[in-house]
Amino acid sequence: MATGKEIVVSGIRSTGFLHLGNYFGAIRNYIRMQEDYNCYFFVADWHSLTTHPDPKDLRGNVFRLLAENIASGLDPEKVALYAQSDVPEIAELYLLLNMLAYKGELEKVPTFKDKVRLQPQNVNAGLLTYPVLMSADILVHRAIKVPVGKDQEQHLEMARNFAQRFNTRYGEELFPEPIAFNFGDNLVRIPSLDGTGKMSKSENEMATLYLNDTDELIRKKVMKAKTDSGPAEPGAPMPETISNLFLLMQSVSAPDAVDNFRLAYENQSIRYGDMKKQLAEDMVAFIAPIREKAQALQQDVPYLRRILKDGAEKARASAAQTLQAARALIGINYY
């Protein structure tokens, strides 16, 4: 895809249903970028093996993720949409970058420490080297911009470090230094409904709104969202659980509705029950069409397979060029 457009890469793990965080942190940007950038978007099936190694989940998750991306508005004609495992060059670059990554720095990564806490029985080397594989995903296309949520910020910093180390060691600017990207000012972090962390595919299911949730389940989850007894005095600072609700509302509700509730908060007349009812209905209106479209698309496996094949072809063409250059710089060119 030699188009002269800026190169963009981003991936989503095949660990379950997409949720609002994936949508507002990543997919919304994918959709906005698909016209003007040279986009490589992939299902990170290798990455999912670090925490979800069960073969019986993998295929279903991969097809569902594809269907959900397309239902959200991604056009596979405009981007390369592929499975990570269909591009073996990524694995090769991962191996090469591992020579530039140090055990100490990998052990310090907060997401690694989180996983050690969550799955102490399975602290595999894939978890430790996750940021290296992620760097390979990005650098293999020599991408400049990486649309991701806030949770990936530090991994991007590591990708820049590895790129720089490679360039310095081999004396050529093969890899640009990629940046985490969002069309707004800041990277997005959609909080979980109980205020304990971020929404996530594989943790805290009742506090995460999935694009596959039924209307009834959406209403139930929103109505259970954590609140407090209300502002104690006019202009009282907003606690995180409440600002989280406003953030969710800003994502899916009309600006007027958000303004009204904000005003009600300021003058202490707010009723959280009403706010949550409004939020629930707006959330249903946002999610239901995506859910229905994704469920229909998911049935058409031959179509999804075709997309994967086409996407892999585009991605491999770009990756092969990078690997050829990388091998030559390292001295792996014997013939």
Q: How far is the CB of 183 from ligand ATP (least distance, A)?
A: 13
Does residue 56 have an active-site annotation? Answer: no
Q: Which residues are annotated as a binding site for L-tryptophan?
A: 137
Query: For the stretch 124-163, what's the b/e string if a residue is b when 16 or more beta carbons lie within 10 angstroms of its beta carbon?
Result: eebbbbbbbbbbbbbbbbbbbbbbbbbbbeebbebbbbbb
Cα–Cα distance for residue pair 14/23, rounded to 1 Å:
14
224 is catalytic: no
Binding-site annotation, residues for ATP? 13-15, 21-22, 149-151, 190, 198-202
Place of tokens 């720089």: 164
Q: Residue 11's closest CA among 92, 57, 101, 80?
A: 80
Please list the residues that pair with 13 across neighbouring strands.
44
Nearer to ligand ATP, 182 or 231 (CB): 182
Neighbours of 197 (CB within 10 A): 15
Which of 137, 179, 138, 141 lies closest to 157, judged by CA?
179
In sequence order, the β-bridge partners of residue 54 are none
Contact between residue 199 and residue 190 where contact means Cβ atoms under 8 Å apart: yes
Q: Return the number of the residue (72 or 200) whose C-beta is nearest ligand ATP.
A: 200
Coil, strand, or helix at residue 82? strand
Let me know if 198 is a catalytic residue: yes
CB of 256: closest distance to ligand ATP in angstroms?
25
Nearer to ligand ATP, 43 or 258 (CB): 43
- Beta carbon of residue 88, minimum distance to ligand ATP (angstroms, whole number): 21
CB of 202 to ligand ATP, least distance (A): 4
Residues near ligand ATP (CB under 6 A) are 10, 12-13, 15, 21-22, 24-26, 148-149, 151-152, 188-190, 198-203
Name 141's Cβ contacts closer than 8 Å, sequence gap at least 6: 7, 9, 40, 315, 318, 319, 322
Closest CB to ligand ATP among residues 51, 326: 51
Shortest CB 304 distance to ligand ATP, Å: 18
User: In the complex with ligand ATP, which residue's Cβ is closer, 152 or 253?
Assistant: 152
Q: Which of 145, 198, 221, 276 is catalytic?
A: 198
Catalytic residue from among 5, 56, 145, 201: 201
Whole-number Å distance between alpha carbons of 52 and 97: 24
Supply the residues annotated as catalytic: 115, 198, 201
